[in-house]
């Protein structure tokens, strides 16, 4: 019985440092816009002004909305696939037992399409003329 206690104690002393040195995976979505400086929302939640880095937990498709003054809003969908070490059963090792921290970064750039149609100055002039006619 005494040998069993010593074996359990030795096993506990061996496993304790392994459990204490667990690693993790940090996931980041980096969003930029062209031109830089647009307000950015990811999945309906405003996250800041581009360029912005957002941490995320789950992989999949993200909806990225961008707003810039005097331009139509831009919406883009970004599909982010899990890396090889995030598939079962490897994810158990990379999340729980691997002592290193894995950093997974994905970059997305939102392009604003130039507005087509009437130039802004002409549109404002026509609006003012219509306003004068209705008075």
* Per-residue pLDDT, 91: 81
Which CATH number is 48's domain given? 2.60.40
Q: Is residue 17 part of a domain?
A: no
Q: Is residue 14 part of a domain?
A: no
How many structural domains are present in the chain? 1
Percent of the chain at pLDDT above 70?
Answer: 84
Give the domain range for residue 31.
24-133
Q: Is residue 30 part of a domain?
A: yes
Q: What tokens were used for 71?
A: 């331009």
Q: Is residue 7 part of a domain?
A: no
| 3-34 confidence digits (pLDDT tens) | 677 777 776 666 666 555 566 889 999 999 98
Q: Is residue 9 part of a domain?
A: no
The answer, yes or no, to whether residue 1 has pLDDT greater than 70, is no
Angle at 112 between CA 109 and CA 41, to 5 degrees: 60
Distance CA 2, CA 95 (A): 36
């Amino acid at each position: 019985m005494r040998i069993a206690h010593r074996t359990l104690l030795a096993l506990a002393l061996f496993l304790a440092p392994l459990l204490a040195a667990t690693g993790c995976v940090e996931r980041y979505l980096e969003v930029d816009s062209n031109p830089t400086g647009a307000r950015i929302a990811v999945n309906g939640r405003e996250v800041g002004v581009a360029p912005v880095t957002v941490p995320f937990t789950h992989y999949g498709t993200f909806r990225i909305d961008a707003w810039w003054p005097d331009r139509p809003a831009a919406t883009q969908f970004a599909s982010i696939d899990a890396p090889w070490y995030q598939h079962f059963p490897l994810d158990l090792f990379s999340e729980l037992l691997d002592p290193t921290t894995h950093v997974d970064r994905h970059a997305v750039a939102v392009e604003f399409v130039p507005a087509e149609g009437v130039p802004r100055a002409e549109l404002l002039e026509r609006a003012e003329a219509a306003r004068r006619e209705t008075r």
